[in-house]
Amino acid sequence: MWKTISQAIEQATNQPFTIKHKQQATGGDINLCYWLSDYRQNYFVKLNDKQHFEHFDSEAYALSQIKQCQQIVCPDVITLGTTLDKAFLVLSYIPFESPKSNDWYHLGQQLAHMHKTATHGQFGWQHDNYIGDTLQPNQWHSNWRTFFAEQRIAWQLQLLYEKSIRLGDIDHITQVCHDALLHHQTTPSLVHGDLWQGNMGFYHHQPVIFDPACYYGDREVDLAMTELFGQLPDDFYQGYQATFPLTNNYENRKLVYNFYHILNHANLFGGIYIEQSKAQLSRILALH
């Protein structure tokens, strides 16, 4: 397996590469991750079962789109492929460092610039992709509230229903979430899609984002998720607001946007996230 990966790196970079150091790294709950080095070049490798190749292909495409907008740093995609039984994705290796307060401010600024400059005529993505290990539908749509209610909330509720977990009538909950976005006017921005603190870092004071679940959507979905598992430092939000201020009633929309991620965690992990889904739904219903 490692010989195949080394050969893929050599072919992609047009340089010889022999693994002289291999160290397992942290990389979330889904993939095995490794730091590879020949003491000259360093790479970050994600591994999973062979059928996971489509996940890696989607991630590589999303990283290429973030890279193309030239507003915020993300890892370079070196190569991807399969061995006899594994799929792999090779990225540039970035040794993250502890941030200073100004670094968070710059992250807010750069994310805002990405949202402002990387736009599209419709909501969606060039293909379906993944949020964690869950398929994320991305059929193009001109109406944001319909897109989010149907392809985010209803989709997750249906997946839960197929696990015999029922939070209520799917059509009713979907309509409530649709109506919560009724008077919100937004344009399709390139969003990271899974922007929590574990998917961002800093190197030489330069903000870096990774592990995306990109699509063109309301920029507020990224801001909302940064608050889901505990807020980022205030400097981040100050940097964003100074560059691309949020509009009125964001706090209410945030409940709907984060409902999607809580539902996804309920689908992936069950347990406490099912109860959190019910609690979040009660908050949303209380808006009406």
Positions marked catalytic: 194
Closest CA to 184 of 221, 228, 139, 227: 221
Look up residue 19 and give its two tokens.
């693994």
Contact 195, 209 (CB under 8 A): yes
